[in-house]
Chains A and B, each alone.
Chain A
Amino acid sequence: MKEISIALAGNPNSGKTSIFNELTGTSQYVGNWPGVTVEKKEGTWRKNKKVKIQDLPGIYSLSPYTPEEIVARDYLLHQQPEVILNVVDASNLERNLYLTTQLLETGIPVVVDLNMMDVVKKMGNRVNEEKLAYGLGTPVVCTSAVKGDGVEAAAEKAEKWAKDKTFSPTFPSYDRKLESALSEIEDFLPSTISSRQTRWYAIKLFERDTRVQAELSFSEEIQKEIEEIIQISEKIFADDSESILINERYEFIVKLVELCSTKKDSFKLTWSDKIDRIVTNRILAIPVFAFVMWLVYYISIQTIGTMGTDWINDTLFGTIIPNAATGAMVSLHIAGWMQALVLDGIIAGVGAVLGFLPQIATLFFCLAVLEDCGYMARIAFVMDRFFRKFGLSGKSFIPMLIATGCGVPAVMATRTIENEKDRRMTVMVTTFMPCSAKLPIIALIAGAFFPTSSWVAPSAYFIGIAAIVLSGIMLKKTALFSGDPAPFIMELPAYHMPRARGVLQQTWNRSVAFVKKAGTIIFVACILIWFMSSYNFQLKPVAEDVSILAAIGNVVAPLFAPLGWGNWRATVATVTGLIAKENVVGTFGILYGGMAEVSENGHEVWPMLQVAFTSVSGYSFLIFNLLCAPCFAAIGAIHREMITWKWTGIAIGYQCGLAYLVSFVVYQLGSWFFENNNFGLGQFLAIGVIGGIIYALVRKPRKKLDMAGVPSAI
């Protein structure tokens, strides 16, 4: 049997990736906001391995204005799937059907999938799929992807439609005069173009699509004749050719929707609208957001999550596992050095990271609830209004929302930003958001130094946002990033009760990923750190203070002395954080946690940290590790998006520089205010840094755009 490709195409946030996951059995990330899928993905249908499913990025039209539209259009036109499963948000039929008309015009068999039918029913509306199928001249199926209803049937219908030998394309019919112009243009098309595609090419030539013009490379004479046909039509319709087609498409859609759908009462405010009046309110939006995020961190870091963490740290990794491992190794006569590696290296290091799992899982759960119910999408909308005041676009906030999970996909998500300068700037600042790997550092510092303060953990989130906003303002005033913010169009999904399945699935996936990372990358790093902290350069076992790690750490440590933590252990922890941010905690687990004789309970790390750091220097350490260069995986992603090492260097240099300056100011002024340190050179310089930052924020922007030396776009 021949392989069949089914392409999932539709508007952003219409549920394509949910359908893709349901059909392929994969767990690709699904976000309740547009722009999550930036590249097409391919999978195999679970029921039939000969059927390939392609998940295309969400698009509003096939006119290639955005990177996503280019990816989708190139695939549909040049790789030609056997059938398109057009995922339509049935609760917003008019706007979604615009793309449907264009997909039908490609000549590829299309099955229209009315998704979110559960939402339509809940709104009290109805869509008659038979009438819609009749009007479009193509099969229509109904699904509710999040519940998994009808998804398999939709794929079966698409497969059947792709195999239908009697298929001949049916196109939406427009005004008689326009049809006649399109038919005249079709006569000029070369015979190499298949009869199914002539309509598409005629329409694109009518729209003066430069890509199609270049592809067909007509003689000057034919070009002139086509141009005459277009100009005559423009005179008849008193509009430009592109607008003529847009109007005709919408006229067709309006008639079709009138025919096949009934709406309850469109003027009545829904619950969603009422909630939006508060949470997107001009004055209340930001305070509500701040309260929600404080609550999320309070629940996960300070209260519910911390109960599980205490048990894992004190009991599981503090007593049960070390005792069991010691007993087993002694009875098996394992060598002393191997026992030390297992107990002081692997169990202390990996255990220190895994200890934070309950807090992190609780945070994942809270964020998944906020995302699934539709609140996080509102934050992007609220932030657009806020960002725009400072010359930034809300489009930059979508990668930042993704960055709360992992910096790598967040950096990749910047591809949806068309403006090259805005995209580069977003790549540079997006990893300031605390990703899941940074959460153990936040929980560790909050627990060790501020156990009763509920502001410390959420402050990490707001410091990330503040660093992004302030960086945006400062960088926009430089020649490298100046320019107007890109427009941001975003549709807000209706609020709904979070679905247990989706929320638990996301929490589970992310928690499993966290455990996997602890069992792989962190495991290897712990072995290395233990070795380097237990042996000297002659490979002889020595005390930690004269180990390889101490020797290296002591060379770099003075650099961090002005930040309040110029000791080799903190320095080494920061550097190992470049492998994976969880390593910071893992390293502390080995370097501080291994000293069991000075501790009475499982929290070996906390008292030792309280000796090595003050509260202010601990907070300064937290801020530096939040804002400095991300892990190597994210640096790699930054390089892939920036293309050149020069730009990657600028990004990493800026992140480390800003982290250093902010930590410096926090430590110098914090130790003067709260720890009664004398006012000296450090404090004087810190005030100077604040002055410099204020100047960078308020100075007049550079007017002239200097493009020299800026690498070309992706």
Chain B
Amino acid sequence: MSTIILGGLIFGTAGYIVYSKLLKKGAGGCNCSDCNCPVNSRQNETH
């Protein structure tokens, strides 16, 4: 049971990271303090 819970935690986190960093619209590979990325959705429209 513990293995299943830990597995769910690890693979669930990994799945969320893949979604938010790679699949989600507007996902980027670098940090905002470095990249000057848009600070809200209206900015995305101007790109």
- Which of these, A43, A334, A524, contacts B17 with CB under 8 Å? A524
For A17, give the chain B residue with the smallest CB separation.
B36
A26 an interface residue at 8 Å Cβ cutoff?
yes
Q: Is the beta-carbon distance between A408 and B30 smaller than 8 angstroms?
A: yes
Docked CA distance A523–B2 (Å): 21
Docked CA distance A408–B29 (Å): 8
Docked CA distance A40–B43 (Å): 8
Residues of A within 8 A of B2 (CB): 332-334
Residues of B within 8 A of A516 (CB): 31
The stretch among A80-88, A101-109, A611-619, A631-639 that forms the contact with chain B is A631-639
Docked CA distance A333–B3 (Å): 8
Q: Report the minimum CB–CB distance from B38 to chain A (whole Å).
A: 7
A: which residues have CB within 8 A of B?
Answer: 24, 26-29, 36-44, 329, 332-335, 338, 341-342, 346, 405-406, 408-409, 412, 506, 509-510, 512-513, 516-517, 520-521, 523-524, 527, 580, 631-634, 636
- Which of these, B14, B29, B35, B43, contacts A42 with CB under 8 Å? B43
Given contacts A334-B2, A523-B17, contact A633 B29 (CB under 8 A): yes
Q: Is the beta-carbon distance between B34 and A341 smaller than 8 angstroms?
A: no
Residues of A within 8 A of B30 (CB): 406, 408-409, 513, 633
Residues of B within 8 A of A631 (CB): 29
Q: Is the beta-carbon distance between B43 and A41 smaller than 8 angstroms?
A: yes
Docked CA distance A40–B45 (Å): 12
Docked CA distance A516–B28 (Å): 13
Residues of A within 8 A of B40 (CB): 42-44
B26 an interface residue at 8 Å Cβ cutoff?
no
B24 an interface residue at 8 Å Cβ cutoff?
no
Main secondary structure of the interface of B (DSSP, over half): helix
Docked CA distance A523–B11 (Å): 11
Q: Is the beta-carbon distance between B42 and A42 smaller than 8 angstroms?
A: yes
- A28, A36, A333, A405 pick with most chain B CB within 10 angstroms: A28
Residues of B within 8 A of A342 (CB): 6, 10
B6-37 CB contacts (< 8 Å) to partner A: 6-7, 10-11, 13-14, 17-18, 21, 28-36
For A436, give the chain B residue with the smallest CB separation.
B34
Docked CA distance A38–B47 (Å): 12
Given contacts A338-B3, A633-B28, contact A41 B36 (CB under 8 A): yes
Q: List 16 A-B contacts (CB under 8 A).
A: A28-B36, A28-B39, A29-B33, A29-B36, A41-B36, A332-B2, A341-B10, A408-B29, A510-B31, A510-B33, A512-B31, A513-B31, A523-B17, A527-B10, A631-B29, A634-B29
- Which of these, A41, A334, A406, A636, contacts B3 with CB under 8 Å? A334
Q: Report the minimum CB–CB distance from B47 to chain A (whole Å).
A: 8
